[in-house]
Structure 1
Amino acid sequence: MDTNELERERGITILAKNASVSYEGIRINIIDTPGHADFGGEVERVMNMADGCLLLVDAVDGPMPQTTYVLRQALKQNVTPMVVINKIDRPEARAAEVVDMVQDLFLEVATNADQLDFPVLYASARDGYATTSLNEPGLNMQPLFEAILNSVPPPTGDSCAPLQMLVAALDYDSYLGQVAVGRITNGTLRLRDHVALLGRNAEPTSHVVERIFVFRGMERVEVSESHAGDIVAITGPEGVSIGDTIASLENPQALPSIDINEPTVRMTFGVSTSPFMGIEGEHCTSRQLYARLMRELRTNVSLRVETTSSPDVFVVSGRGELHLSILVETMRRKGDTFIDPGTKVYAGMIVGSNSRGDDIEINVCKEKKLTNMRSSTADITKRLKSTVKMSLEEALAFTADDEFVEVTPKNLRLRKMELSSVDRKRKRRDGARARD
């Protein structure tokens, strides 16, 4: 598998290589790693793509210094170990003695007791056979494949989950450009998918998957989609670095339509849904348009979003039950109310909105004296016509930076972060001083 010119010249593996074989209908991905500590970074990166490791030891030379390093890195990643004693066909082979040396090596570097229980196979790569016992002649590589299926756990990823892929290696093609190699941990990757590239120190960026390659034998084969557990090479994302994560991008489909006696206009966007929260209740109502948002969540990506401030509100200054007089004579005249008469309230709770230009604190414990000029029934009728009932999305869109949405199994309330009026004023004063 060593195709690099420097590798052929020095007779060692420098770059990790990918391959795969199919046995009993099961795809077994193979990663050939360097064995020298000089290329330790390459070993650590590609080990993230593996569930198990085959420690290949020469039946004549035994464990080499680099063998200790590679095994230690593998066991740190908690991969399932197997041992293959190779070149048992050589006259000077000392397989039994080498097995004892390997066991001593495991005792030295193992991180837990389970790693000391590993299968041992004996093989001749030149002659193409493996066996589980030196007393049984090998016929083919079937014992090795059986041992892999019995020892190495299958991938644990979920193909139906949002896409996650860790970039473990990079390649470059003069025609295709940069190639990112990694294992799909979760989800399904499809051609022309919009994905997010998450670097360690940069903002997420959006890209389109142009080519997907999987490994069949020692060749790369182009496919239209690949699933959790597959090791793939993809093109499309630019500026990829080893250690970056490729994830599915939140791809909401916003479908606003305007009916003006013409065919419906439909627009589809691949953007974050955060700025659109509340658009159906606020913008569509104010502009007398019909709009419907349909979203498809691909992943959760943190994006910086600039939002506008919420309208000014009525804030409860005391505790008690919300009475009809305040609702009708104060709140309804200057804005909207969010709760019904008789609702229990608390200090700092938001009970309505106003267009005055600042927040208004109200004492809800004042009760209007009823006269013959107006009955309580008339007040109730007048009040109920203006009650605004918000959905959770609308409430989240409504709130300002100093406000919360309080959700319980039975109620949805708006409130100030600081419930005390004194604390709110002090915080505003301190903020103004800090800006000055």
Structure 2
Amino acid sequence: MNMTLTPTTAHQIRNVAIIAHVDHGKTTLVDKMMLQSGQYRNEDLAKLAGGQHGLILDSNDLERERGITILSKNCAVRYTSTSGDSYRVNLIDTPGHADFGGEVERVLGMASGTLLLVDAYEGPMPQTRFVLEKSLLHGLRPIVVVNKVDRPDSRPQEVVNEVFDLLVEMDAPEEFLDFPVVFASAREGWATLDLNEPSDSLRPLFETIIEHVPPPEVGLEDGPLRMQVTSLDYSDYVGRIAIGRVREGTIKRRQRVLVFDRQGNSAERQVGQLLGFDGLDRKEVESVAAGDLCAITGLEPIEIGDTISDLTCTDPLPAVPIDEPTLHMTFRVNDGPFSGREGKFLTSRQLGERLDKELRSNVALRVGPGPSQEQFCVSGRGLMHLGILIENMRREGFELCVGKPEVILRDIDGVRSEPIEQLVVDCPERCQNAVMALLGDRRANLTKMTHRESSGFVHLEFTIPARSLMGLKNRMLNATQGEAIMHHTFLGYEPIRGATPSRPVGVLIANESGMATAYSLDALYDRGEFFIRPGDQVYEGQVIGEHCRVGDLVVNVVRGKKLTNVRAAGKDDNSQVRPVRAMSLETCLEYIEEDELVEVTPSMVRLRKMMLIEADRRRAARQANG
């Protein structure tokens, strides 16, 4: 067992968080930094990355399938500078989607500096502003890395000026405005301080980190132990593993410590294993001093935000501030006719236990009681934030129904207010009018417009109510022939802007249970567009398509062709099977109305009416109309 990690002195440690907008290349850069540190060979990285994906820090299935980072992760690389000194750089990879901003907020406390990645063409985007604002609150000075400078349409100098303007707009400290700039191509694995001086490695980036990211304060090593848990891992052998940065003092293996929870209650426990980071591995060490990152076992029960301190300490560290959720939806047990056919976890008790488990690590999530004992009100940062949770539960064997997502309203100074988001749209100039018309109906206000002549695109920035984003993506792609690029992030709360258009058409609803037939679907194709294929099992009350007109239409899709000895048998199977609309989980969540649910099982995602029987729906409609 390796009981030492080199180097161990504080001035040889650099803690760096890598922050950026989605798809600007954070995880790709971390992989290349690990490769060029000499700790891994190409074959090792490919094996760890799981084959074709190539990004080892995107470790779970959903991250690899979607090509995004969902969970913050950290690793350590060794680097020998040009002066011959050896350093350990602790790298913290963060998500780029606004919906996972809670992951960014809770891990920035481990860093002493940040690498702010910006795409050489796109420049600062909505999430760039969000993550930069959070890092400034922690007093972290950014190193600006202009990535993808090898793109043919890159505009690196303009992007640097835009980052400067953004910092000025955000009232950054004056010393932060003189930020170091590194130009890089993370995919090709090189960086340079001057575009006229080409490079073949990331050494200029490493040297900039060593020079501009401050080492941990050495004087804190002599004080009483204090550290805060910013991440959790789990092992079947040792249970929960607490991860964080030692703020003061030194923590030792087998040491007796106090653990303060968020309410300030303390309990005495003993450190089990003490693990330091080396590459992707964790190695057992005897002690970890202030400024370094470590992982600790044996402290259960332990939660994110808890403080681990010396037995003589009475003051826990302040809790990590997390922005409040902006969206909520109702989770409930699956009470449909097909309940229990596929899932292993069906009851409200199992659903509640799973949500409680998620709360332990998902700090941006909130769970409260619903209208009944079988329902839970789950709040999160956005549709993708909650969609990822539902997708993980589905893969674990849960069956559940989910209601329409709704924004969380607040009363601010006696005024009813709603969440407002910043929306950025890049689209071809010929589609500009269609985009403006689409967003104008949704109460969006245009704040900035720039033409990018090199690509023929126009860059539009709006403020828009969060509720108006529901179902916007598909309509935006239709309006721009699939060429628009759209990003958004939370800005704040403003007075409610007024009504926005709901779904313009009704839905097709099955009136019988059974197997959908090609014959019946073919006879109904002029009524709208279907979500199901011939051979799919349907039940009464299931939403099986979109009506071509306003209002819902109840149809029979299980009717078969009556066979007689009069017709020729060859004409019975000439039904036309047309393409269906593929509906992903998040698309379904955006699509449904208040009287509908999304039914989620391990292998299927269905849409259904809340009341399955047509007579019940009619009776409820009469009562609602008085």
Where does residue 209 of structure 2 map in the other structure?
148
Where does residue 180 of structure 1 map in the other structure?
242
Distance (whole Å) between structure 2 residues aligned to residue 178 and residue 39 of structure 1: 22
User: What are the within-5 Å matches in structure 2 for residues 162-241 of structure 1?
Assistant: 162-241=224-303
Provide, for residues 217-260 of structure 1, a one-character-per-residue CA deviation record: whole Å limited to 9, x for no partner.
Answer: 2222222221111111111111212111101224xxxxxxxxxx
Provide, for residues 103-149 of structure 1, a one-character-per-residue CA deviation record: whole Å limited to 9, x for no partner.
Answer: 22222224322221100000111222111011110132221111112
> Does structure 2 retain, via aligned residues, the 8 Å contact 1:214–1:220?
yes
The letter for the 1-side match of 2:110 is: M
Match of 2:72 among 4, 16, 25: 16
Q: 1:5 to 1:199 in 2, by over 3 A?
A: same
Where does residue 330 of structure 1 map in the other structure?
none
User: What are the within-5 Å matches in structure 2 for residues 339-378 of structure 1?
Assistant: none
> Does structure 2 retain, via aligned residues, the 8 Å contact 1:130–1:143?
yes
Q: CA RMSD in A?
A: 1.7
Distance (whole Å) between structure 2 residues aligned to residue 107 and residue 9 of structure 1: 38
Deviation at 1:20, TM superposition (A): 1.5
Match of 1:116 among 174, 177, 182: 177
**Where in structure 1 are there 5+ consecutive unaligned residues?**
251-298, 303-436
Deviation at 1:33, TM superposition (A): 1.2
The letter for the 2-side match of 1:19 is: C
More moved, 212-221 vs 126-135: 212-221
> Does structure 2 retain, via aligned residues, the 8 Å contact 1:36–1:69?
no
Where does residue 46 of structure 1 map in the other structure?
107
- Alignment of 1:88 onto 2:144: no
Deviation at 1:98, TM superposition (A): 1.8
Q: Whose RCO is larger (CA < 8 A, sep 6+)?
A: 2
Where does residue 570 of structure 2 map in the other structure?
none
Where does residue 123 of structure 2 map in the other structure?
62
Deviation at 1:171, TM superposition (A): 1.4
- Alignment of 1:3 onto 2:64: no
Distance (whole Å) between structure 2 residues aligned to residue 110 and residue 205 of structure 1: 42
**Where in structure 2 are there 5+ consecutive unaligned residues?**
1-56, 80-84, 317-626
Where does residue 88 of structure 2 map in the other structure?
27
The letter for the 1-side match of 2:65 is: E
Distance (whole Å) between structure 1 residues aligned to residue 141 and residue 265 of structure 2: 36
Q: Secondary structure at the match of 1:47?
A: helix
The letter for the 2-side match of 1:13 is: T
Q: TM-score, with normalisation over the residues of structure 1? A: 0.56
Deviation at 1:300, TM superposition (A): 4.5
Q: TM-score, with normalisation over the residues of structure 2? A: 0.39
> Does structure 2 retain, via aligned residues, the 8 Å contact 1:204–1:301?
no
Match of 2:309 among 237, 247, 251: 247
The letter for the 1-side match of 2:64 is: R
The letter for the 2-side match of 1:205 is: A
More moved, 144-153 vs 175-184: 144-153
Q: Secondary structure at the match of 1:73?
A: helix
User: What are the within-5 Å matches in structure 2 for residues 301-320 of structure 1?
Assistant: none
State the structure with more CA Rg.
Answer: 1
> Does structure 2 retain, via aligned residues, the 8 Å contact 1:191–1:209?
yes
Distance (whole Å) between structure 2 residues aligned to residue 112 and residue 132 of structure 1: 23
Q: 1:185 to 1:194 in 2, by over 3 A?
A: same
Deviation at 1:36, TM superposition (A): 2.1
Distance (whole Å) between structure 2 residues aligned to residue 92 and residue 53 of structure 1: 26
Match of 1:128 among 189, 201, 211: 189
The letter for the 1-side match of 2:255 is: D
> Does structure 2 retain, via aligned residues, the 8 Å contact 1:121–1:130?
yes
Q: Secondary structure at the match of 1:232?
A: strand
Distance (whole Å) between structure 2 residues aligned to residue 39 and residue 301 of structure 1: 30
The letter for the 1-side match of 2:184 is: A
Deviation at 1:75, TM superposition (A): 0.9
Distance (whole Å) between structure 2 residues aligned to residue 129 and residue 211 of structure 1: 38
> Does structure 2 retain, via aligned residues, the 8 Å contact 1:75–1:110?
no
Deviation at 1:91, TM superposition (A): 2.5
Q: Secondary structure at the match of 2:243?
A: strand
Distance (whole Å) between structure 2 residues aligned to residue 114 and residue 301 of structure 1: 32
Provide, for residues 184-242 of structure 1, a one-character-per-residue CA deviation record: whole Å limited to 9, x for no partner.
Answer: 01111111111110113143101111111222122222222211111111111112121
> Does structure 2 retain, via aligned residues, the 8 Å contact 1:71–1:109?
no
The letter for the 2-side match of 1:168 is: T
Distance (whole Å) between structure 2 residues aligned to residue 80 and residue 70 of structure 1: 12
Distance (whole Å) between structure 2 residues aligned to residue 117 and residue 219 of structure 1: 36
What percentage of residue pairs aligned between the two structures are identical?
51
Distance (whole Å) between structure 2 residues aligned to residue 207 and residue 37 of structure 1: 37
Deviation at 1:48, TM superposition (A): 0.8
The letter for the 2-side match of 1:182 is: G
Distance (whole Å) between structure 1 residues aligned to residue 296 and residue 232 of structure 2: 10
Where does residue 461 of structure 2 map in the other structure?
none
User: What are the within-5 Å matches in structure 2 for residues 288-327 of structure 1?
Assistant: 299-300=313-314
Provide, for residues 11-63 of structure 1, a one-character-per-residue CA deviation record: whole Å limited to 9, x for no partner.
Answer: 22111110112223122111111122212222111111111100011113222
The letter for the 1-side match of 2:70 is: I
Distance (whole Å) between structure 1 residues aligned to residue 310 and residue 190 of structure 2: 43
> Does structure 2 retain, via aligned residues, the 8 Å contact 1:33–1:43?
yes
- Alignment of 1:37 onto 2:98: yes
Q: How many residues align?
A: 254
Deviation at 1:301, TM superposition (A): 7.2
Q: Secondary structure at the match of 2:75?
A: strand
Distance (whole Å) between structure 1 residues aligned to residue 301 and residue 183 of structure 2: 44
Provide, for residues 287-346 of structure 1, a one-character-per-residue CA deviation record: whole Å limited to 9, x for no partner.
Answer: xxxxxxxxxxxx4579xxxxxxxxxxxxxxxxxxxxxxxxxxxxxxxxxxxxxxxxxxxx
Q: 1:301 to 1:98 in 2, by over 3 A?
A: closer
- Alignment of 1:79 onto 2:140: yes
Q: Secondary structure at the match of 2:222?
A: coil
Q: Secondary structure at the match of 1:144?
A: helix
